Amino acid sequence: MKSEAHLYAKVTNEIRQQIDSGKYRDGDKLPSERQLCKEFGVSRITIRQALDRLEEMKIIDRKQGKGTYILPFEYGRLPEIFSRFVCEIEKKGKQHGTKVLHIGRISVDAHLAEKMGLPEGGQVYKVSRLRTVDDLPLAVEHSYIPCGAAPGLDVADIGESSLYQILEGVHSVKIDRAFETLQPAVLNGEDAAHLGRMGGEAVLNIERFAYAAGRMIEYTGFYFIDGEYKYTVDLI
């Protein structure tokens, strides 16, 4: 039999996935606790624990006597996982930096078509950056943005600037939903060279998908190599 802690963590994750997928949007009201109990097949205690956690994460707001509502998404919370890495770096008294490796237009291949839901042969901007700690490589980041969403992005001075601040401030594109996934990956030759490693080495891969008004605006892949830093997921 699954523990209450396991169940509420599972329900928390599933509700968040529903929000990330667009089933619920900013300002939408979630179903009642009774309806959620029926949907997920769990007790009201489990549902309340899951909602407590989502409220702590500032994803929902429970208004007494009125219901539970989805809070507006804030781009400043992104990228959530990378921000935690940066916090760990700063706690150790080290300096993080960013170097632009590439920025320009590329054609959508089969891989990007699958990830972004775009037709093959279309155009996207590719922004590749090297993340460093005390001038030593930590991660390679590749971001892809549809050209129509941010005309002229390939001539922008991005540097260490937030991509989201540029999208909103220059192109009036405000990210309102995003999610990230973690998975193991293998370095290819080009990324391995930037990171000073051998091709074929195992790394941590973080994929981020960001949306504005239901349209995918960004797909990013991070490849981390340094085992000194870790990411912790709060389950209970």
Q: Is the peptide bond before 184 cis (omega within 30 degrees of 0)?
A: no
Per the CB < 8 A criterion, the answer to whether 218 and 210 are in contact is: yes
What gap in Å lies between CA 207 and CA 210, rounded to an integer? 10
45 and 96 inside one domain: no
Q: Kindly tell me if the per-residue pLDDT of 206 is higher than 80.
A: yes
pLDDT of 230: 54
Give pLDDT tens digits for 105-125: 999 999 898 888 888 899 999
- Give the pLDDT band of residue 220 (cuts 50, 70, 90): very high
pLDDT in tens, 47-77: 998 898 888 767 889 988 889 998 875 533 4
Structure tokens at 117: 């839901």
CA 44-60-69 angle, to 5 degrees, is 85
* CA atoms within 13 A of residue 110's CA, in its CB half-sphere: 0
Q: Are residues 58 and 159 in the same domain?
A: no
Domain boundary among 70, 102, 124: 70
Domain boundary among 70, 92, 119: 70
Tokens of 223: 């490849």
Residue 200 backbone class (left: φ over 0; alpha: ψ -120 to 50; beta: rest): left
Question: Within a 10 A sphere around the Cβ of 160, how many other Cβ atoms?
Answer: 11
Reduced to 3 states (helix: H, G, I; strand: E, B; else coil), residue 36 is: helix
Which residue segment(s) compose the domain that 142 sits in? Answer: 75-224
One domain for residues 81 and 194: yes
Burial letters 118-155, b for 16+ CB under 10 A, else e: beeeeebbbbbbbbbbeeebbbbbbbbbbeebbeebbe
pLDDT digits (tens, 9 = 90+) for 126-167: 999 998 888 889 889 999 999 999 988 877 777 666 787 788
pLDDT of residue 236: 40
The reply to whether 55 and 95 lie within a common domain is no
DSSP 120-166: TT-EEEEEEEEEEETTEEEEEEEEEEEGGGSTTGGGS--TTS-HHHH
Looking at the 3D structure of the chain, how many domains does it have? 2
pLDDT at 83: 61
Distance CA(65)–CA(63), nearest Å, equals: 6
The answer to whether residue 28 is domain-embedded is: yes
Q: Let me know whether 55 and 27 are in one domain.
A: yes
Residue 9 has pLDDT above 80, yes or no: no
Question: How does pLDDT run across 72-105, given as a tens digit for each residue?
Answer: 755 334 445 566 666 666 667 777 788 899 999 9
